[in-house]
Structure 1
Amino acid sequence: MNQNKLFQRTRIRLAFWYAIVMGLILTACGFGFYTAVSHAHSEALDRELEFAAKSLHNNLELKLNQPEKLSPIVKEVLPNICVVETGCISEKSVSQRHILNAINQGYYVRLFGNSGNLIATSGSLPQTQSLDLNKKLWQTIEDDTGNFYHQMSLELHTKDNRDWGYLQVGRNIADVNSYMDAVKLSLLVGLPIAMMMVAFASWWLAGLAMRPIYQSYRQIQQFTADAAHELRTPLAATQATIESVLLMPDLDIKEAWDILATIKRQNQRLTSLVVDLLMLSRFDRESIDLQRELCSLNDIIDDLIEEFAAMAISAKVTLKSEISVHKDVNIIGNSEQLYRLFSNLIVNAIQYTLPSGEVTVILDSYESDAEIRVKDTGIGIPTQELSHVFDRFYRVNSDRSRHTGGSGLGLAIAKAIVVSHHGSLELQSEVNKGSTFIVTFPLLQPSRTILIKKGL
């Protein structure tokens, strides 16, 4: 396939578009994966922060008496809280029972008054000079050192439901950002590697997909060349005959009849070849509308043995049949095509059997199949050529086949007829010992036979 530029270019284009499509799909999947992971972590962070903020908010409101004033009892909730104006109201010991035990692990708390003034702080605060209150519920901020924090702001009220101020709870999201950066890096590194693998796979799959197309193309090329060669031979012979006649001004009747007989033989060969080619073409397109009927294989074999007896005697070959069943073996098929099938096999066996040899047609019947074997004691076929004998225009022995007038289409037609009848055709052969063609057809069931005979 690499030697044909057309298929090479087609393979490149096919691999290119396949790689582009797969690249777009992988990119979309990678983007979707990153978005899903990012959203999942954002949702988890929000739920975690919301739980901590609302828990602290509910506990603080039970201990606030006056607006913007912190009572010492607040230390039960926030042991490490520091008041901006007066300093810390408790030591830096960490209680194991307070609400935000995680404050020392990246969380921070800020308390603002109603006017937005900072009253108290606790935990790992952002390193920023700006202390302005942002009343938005959710915020993501960046401090002066480039660290990012996610925070939540809630209104605070006293026990008697007066406005106390605002509560902000936040945490450092460096760990989340670090994880997402790792995911992003993995995708940025993984996608090019995946694309290279896709490109390689695309090239391989394109070649794999085009292989049967290329084989069919080669078969068509070979078929065209062989058909042209076979047609050229009788046409050239006819042309030579006609030219020789034109060079003979005085032509007697006997010579004229001989020339006409030669032209007739070549015309018959051309006609036979064209008919065979048209038949194979219709078989290829599955456009042959065969008239199906009840066919007796016993009768077909008996008729053909009688028909080719003279040919066998002329070739000094013994032709006989062995029918081991004592009842009619019937199948549904086209009798004309079945006659053509077995005629081709018998003629082929006679032509390739040396004088004093034997050709035997054997009919057997099994539970669901009928088997017909055409066995000869001829020259046989080499093992390496067994897989090609059913190819069109293929000859095991070209000189002998041409001498007998064959075109190399007989076995190809036989194979096509067997396939159209849902059967199988196999060949067993050994050089200098003979060949056996084995045809198998599905048998017609008895109940179906009765219906057909009744015309139902």
Structure 2
Amino acid sequence: MFQATRRRLALWYTAVTAVLLLLFASGFYLYVRTTLVERVDDTLNHVIEIVLRSLVIEPSETGGRVLTAIGIVEPPLRVNVEATFRDNAPPAEDDRIDLEWFSPTGDLLWSTFAEPPRLPLHVNPQGETVRLTKASLLRQITQRIQSGNQVLGYLRVSHPWFEVTKPTRRLMVDLGLGISLMVGVVAAIGWFLSGLAIAPVKESYQQLKQFTADASHELRNPIAVIQTNVQVALADPEPDVQFQQGQLQVIERLTRRLGRLVDDLLFLTRQESGLVPLQRETVWLDQLLGEVIEEQQAIALEKSVQLVYRLPELAGANEAAIAASESAFALQGDRDQLIRLFTNLISNALQHTPAAGTIVVELAPLRQGQSGLQVAVQDTGAGIAPDALPHVFDRFYRADPARGRRRDSGSGLGLAIAKLIVENHRGQIRLESQLGEGTTVSVSLPKSAKEV
């Protein structure tokens, strides 16, 4: 699927670039061709100007009179062809400019062509391209020469068209080769760029696929157990109250588990989609941690785990000094999300710390030069293997697969939610662990978003 998409993207890159290059090449070709034609026409007009200045005009010997524009009757005029064109011997060059002189009646009187072309005579001072043979073209300008109201004749100047076709053909070849080379290069670059563009989509798709599979697994198991218990209860014609009560307790426990899982999934979805903005307010982190620890103490006592809360001022300080320093632990953040963050971290530590173990929650300001607070949750559990550390923040990931079968195991979303909440507050979260020694999770939070 992704290879097909990559091919389509590369093809679109190449096709769009090819069209743009063709449009550019066409425009450039037309510009060059028009420029060459204008240069040829300028040359022909310049020749006409030179010929006009060299015309030998004299009275006609045929007699008669001609009325001028100002009402004066004068003898008719004619162009002395022999005197005008006596020095214009036909040149031998291929790029020569040929001249033709026609009488006022359109008869050819003089030409530099060895074989004058049999082309109809019509005035065209703007220039035109005429075809002599399949392989021979001429660029011509024809002008009527007159003196007053009297037409003296017609002058046609011709130039070989290869002065235009030769460079334009070479230009077409060069443009064709250049476009082919550029399209090939763009195809290779398009394939490379499409790979870069597809990579995050592919990664997101794989994550979504894995997330869907994990979520389905997490939901399928409790739903199947609930369904089994209900079917057993309904199939018993003489139900035992005590037995059914046990089944209902199982169903209630699994329902709570499903509720927590759905709540976690909804929280992740809403936060990543931006549907629920961060509600920033002033939060005293030392008090918030105290409340969370107080809530978790009952679970810690039940598991015979010692839960300790440490502040820097607690060593040798009295209560008045501690109260006076509370403002040092204030920050701007979402209170509900921060409660969820530290509840997840402490409950996760409680789940993985055996009886008679210790969990230490320590709050301290960041090192000098940084404005922020750091919370460390350290337990004396079994620890995490080094190869599992890079994946601990992945959704539904459990370093020990056996944990997924335990009654008190979570859904595998606690650390993923914790990481998301820390990122929402522009903070950092780190996890360090050694097998047999325990795990330490450190959270660094800025006091305000402006300090990030």
Scaled by the length of structure 2, the TM-score of the pair is: 0.76
Pairwise CA RMSD: 3.7
Q: Map 1:48-447; keep pairs closer than 5 Å.
A: 48-54=43-49, 56-61=50-55, 63-66=56-59, 67-70=78-81, 72=83, 74=84, 79-81=87-89, 106-122=96-112, 125=113, 128-130=116-118, 133-137=121-125, 138-144=127-133, 146-157=135-146, 163-191=151-179, 194-199=182-187, 201-242=189-230, 249=238, 251=240, 253=242, 255-288=243-276, 291-312=279-300, 314=303, 316-317=305-306, 319-323=308-312, 326-328=325-327, 329-353=329-353, 356=357, 358-365=359-366, 367-376=370-379, 378-400=381-403, 402-403=405-406, 404-420=408-424, 422-432=425-435, 434-444=438-448
Instruction: Assess, with a 3 A threshold, how the Cα gap between structure 1 residues 271 and 428 changes in structure 2: closer, same or farther.
Output: closer
CA contact (8 A) 1:418 1:439 kept: yes
Letter in 1 for 2:364: L
Q: Tell me, in whole angstroms, the C-alpha distance in 1 between the residues paired with 2:401 and 2:372.
A: 35
Displacement after TM superposition at 1:352 (Å): 3.6
Q: Tell me, in whole angstroms, the C-alpha distance in 2 between the residues paired with 1:202 and 1:145.
A: 43
Displacement after TM superposition at 1:344 (Å): 0.8
Alignment partner of 2:105: what SS?
Answer: coil
Instruction: Assess, with a 3 A threshold, how the Cα gap between structure 1 residues 141 and 263 changes in structure 2: closer, same or farther.
Output: closer
Displacement after TM superposition at 1:193 (Å): 5.2
Letter in 2 for 1:337: Q
Which residue does the alignment assign to 2:69?
none
Displacement after TM superposition at 1:338 (Å): 1.1
Percent of aligned positions that are identical: 31
2:29 maps to 1:34: yes
Q: Tell me, in whole angstroms, the C-alpha distance in 1 between the residues paired with 2:39 and 2:265.
A: 74
Letter in 1 for 2:102: F
Structure 1 unmatched runs, 5+: 83-91, 93-101, 447-456
Letter in 2 for 1:41: L
Q: Tell me, in whole angstroms, the C-alpha distance in 2 between the residues paired with 1:248 and 1:146.
A: 106
CA contact (8 A) 1:305 1:321 kept: no
Displacement after TM superposition at 1:340 (Å): 0.8
Letter in 2 for 1:389: V
CA contact (8 A) 1:111 1:166 kept: yes
Instruction: Assess, with a 3 A threshold, how the Cα gap between structure 1 residues 233 and 268 changes in structure 2: closer, same or farther.
Output: same
Instruction: Assess, with a 3 A threshold, how the Cα gap between structure 1 residues 50 and 320 changes in structure 2: closer, same or farther.
Output: same
User: What do residues 422-454 of structure 1 show as CA deviations (whole Å, max 9, x unaligned)?
Assistant: 3233324243355443434342499xxxxxxxx
Equivalent pairs counted in the alignment come to: 413
Point out the more displaced range, 294-303 or 368-377. 368-377
